[in-house]
Amino acid sequence: MLKLTRPEGNLPGDLDVSRRALGGLFFAGYAAAAVSASAAPIITDLDGLIAEMALIPAGDRDIPAYVARPDARGRFPVVVVVSEVFGIHEYIRDVCRRLAKLGYIAIATDFFARHGDPAPLTDFASIRRIVSAATDAQVMNDLNATVAWVGAQSFADRKKMAITGFCWGGAAVWLACSRYRHFRCGVAWYGRLTRPAEGQFLSEPEREWPLELAGFLKAPVLGLYAGRDQGIPVADVELMNARLREFKKEGARIVVYTDAQHGFHADYRASYDQEAAQDGWRKMIDYFADHGVRGKRF
């Protein structure tokens, strides 16, 4: 039986940690379109945790969400985790468990539930159709429903909430922090910053993008980006940093890992960069704590 390992970047001695090569083990539950045969994903056990699926009332229907939290009494701070285009697959669930090990309630809502499950698909055209069907309006409505649901739970400290997300979810972090005051802060991992060219994936005119929203941020955002990202040029990152300074968004900033590629935190992919991923994780946890969302010991 596989033992789950530590949250990456945790302080030595906080948890029993290791990163284990999985060899020929079948990558059950990981995004089929992106998993690398050479990957050795971090696997986090459930010791001391409760992890379960919940149904979030979202108006037109209930939507599923994965919730991981400490198996302990008391109220714990909340981190909303927004997935990449592959949805709530095993990598996202493991990120939630890593956060729960550090004393957070981590909740990852399936924003694509109405349209399909991209995780088992290998055809990117089909994945894009599912993701494109999730409009900004729908995603933000589901996010509001998620915040309302988790905030009503007896184990949640609703006054201490943060949000993080990866790729597609990174862009959603910027959008959420520009619209709402639910969160004390956000951490966006390599989310697109500028509007795609007409006709490209997610180029619908009604969508909003971080560069357009910099002046409206209601909570500070830490951006974690890659210097070798083929889809997000460094020029876009520099422009976003300049926009944040222009609008005096104190506390909001972007860190660039010069030698990393897009998806550098995704440990099931060939783009995984352990050094950048661990440093980014530490920066994220410190950023949460600096803004009043510190994991609670249990």
Pairing of strands 49-57, 156-166: unpaired
Q: What is the pLDDT of residue 249?
A: 97
Residue 230's CB is within 10 A of a number of other CB atoms, namely 8
For residue 83, pLDDT over 90 is answered with yes
C-alpha 141/C-alpha 135 separation (Å) is 10
Exposure of 222 in the CB half-sphere (CA atoms within 13 A) = 20
* Per-residue three-class SS string for 5-70: CCCCCCCCCCCCCCCCCCCCCCCCCCCCCCCCCCCCCCCCCCCCEEEEEEEEECCCCEEEEEEEEE
Range of the domain at 236: 49-290
Does residue 128 form part of some domain?
yes
Domain presence at residue 246: yes
Measured distance CA(42)–CA(17) in Å, rounded: 10
Residue 163 in any domain: the answer is: yes
Where b means 16+ CB within 10 Å and e means fewer, 121-152 reads beeeeebeebbeebebebbbebbbbbbebbee
pLDDT tens by residue, 27-78: 679 999 999 988 999 999 999 999 999 999 999 999 999 999 999 999 999 9
Q: Indicate which residues carry an active-site annotation.
A: 167, 229, 262
**Residue 21 maps to a domain:** no
pTM summary value: 0.91
64 in a domain, yes or no?
A: yes
Structure tokens at 196: 């795609």
Our count of domains for the chain comes to 1
Q: Residue 159 falls within a domain, yes or no?
A: yes
pLDDT digits (tens, 9 = 90+) for 113-170: 999 999 999 999 999 999 999 999 999 999 999 999 999 999 999 999 999 999 999 9
Task: Write out pLDDT tens, residues 228-283.
Answer: 999 999 999 999 999 999 999 999 999 999 999 999 999 999 999 999 999 999 99
Structure tokens, 9: 């970047």
- List the CATH number of the domain containing 59: 3.40.50.1820
Q: In what order do the strands lie in the sheet with 253-257?
A: 49-57, 62-70, 105-109, 76-82, 156-166, 185-189, 221-226, 253-257
Domain annotation covers residue 40: no
Eight-class DSSP state of 159: E
